[in-house]
Amino acid sequence: MKKVEDRFNRPIISLRLSITNRCNINCLYCHHDGMMPSNEEMTPDEIYKILNVAKNIGVKKIRFSGGEPLIRKDIVEIIEKTSSLDFKDISITTNGIFLKKYAEKLFNAGLNRINVSFDTLNPKTYEKITSKDYLKEAKEGILKAVDVGLNPVKINMVLMKGINENEVMDMFNFSKKNGLILQLIELMKSENCDDNSFSEEYHFNMGPLEKDLERIATSIKTRKFMQNRKKYFIDNGEIEVIRPMDNTKFCENCTRLRITPEGKIKPCLLRNDNLIDLVGPLRKGFSKKKLEEIFLKGINNREPFYMDNT
Ligand code: SAM
């Protein structure tokens, strides 16, 4: 199996495919996975063909995101097709609302793990963040995912000053009780809000919180190929901290390439000026080798968004 690295010696291990821009909630903070608005989507067959090329250049892990991936009626077929390619890991990031309906089918289709964006246990706060009252559905979906055997089930909690920052311990206890891993995510700038005033107003400085976690953790691990994220083991529970903002270590250890819903290679979450069309050539019947060359061009376009210039 090939191992492909970019110009900054970062191996390409994982591919994150945004398979739709559609979503059934509207989170205050959402950065839409850095995608530009578009109604285009790839078919399961096109996704399969793209993944087949990705596999050939050494990608090992696949994550589906969006928009809301479970809004697609063919999501089980997409997972089935992906699973037939024998990747090391297949995962989905979802808001969990349709998980009660789909968790078992997805597990049987070959999905390994799942991340559920779930920022609060408080119904009023949930409604404030998502502008919908689906807290119960999301919570039941999370428990169903554990029940059917998806492992791990991680909770993505974006921390926002004055909104949910005071819920970290409640969320940790909920996670621990139900065998979940809690991921605390730093609020990033988002094109959703005109001038970034939202992320400036609600940005929560995770530094002091991390110091507290360091103090109470029985052990701490750094995940080198996962953007140098820190994992804290506390009282039989786990908290992972994701701090991408102005973080050169995060970028230095990024091993992820992205695909947009309309089938373009996106080398970085935070940029849209260096996308490369992949599904266009695929639809024109380009050979697998030619598609591989396009992938390699995308990888060659990668550069750390936050770079240590010292
Ligand atoms: N609809 C799916 C969901 O809700 O998980 C997938 C799409 S969502 C854009 C993917 C992830 O991006 C979620 O875990 C969410 O927490 C995270 N996210 C979105 N906007 C963010 C922001 N401004 N800062 C940090 N994380 C963000």
Rounded average pLDDT over 130-159: 98
Rounded average pLDDT over 85-95: 98
User: What is the pLDDT, as a whole number, of residue 245?
Assistant: 82
Distance 205 CA to ligand 1 centre (A): 18
Higher pLDDT among residues 270 and 204, named by residue: 204
Distance 117 CA to ligand 1 centre (A): 7
Distance 127 CA to ligand 1 centre (A): 16
| Position 225 confidence tier, pLDDT thresholds 50, 70, 90 | low
Write out pLDDT tens, residues 14-73.
999 999 999 999 999 998 877 778 889 999 999 999 999 999 999 999 999 999 999 999
User: Does 66 contact ligand 1 (Cβ within 6 A)?
Assistant: yes
From residue 38, give the alpha-carbon distance in Å to each of 21, 73, 251, 260.
7, 18, 27, 9
Residue 157, SS3 per DSSP: strand
b/e for 220-231, b at 16 or more Cβ within 10 A? eeeeebbbbbbb
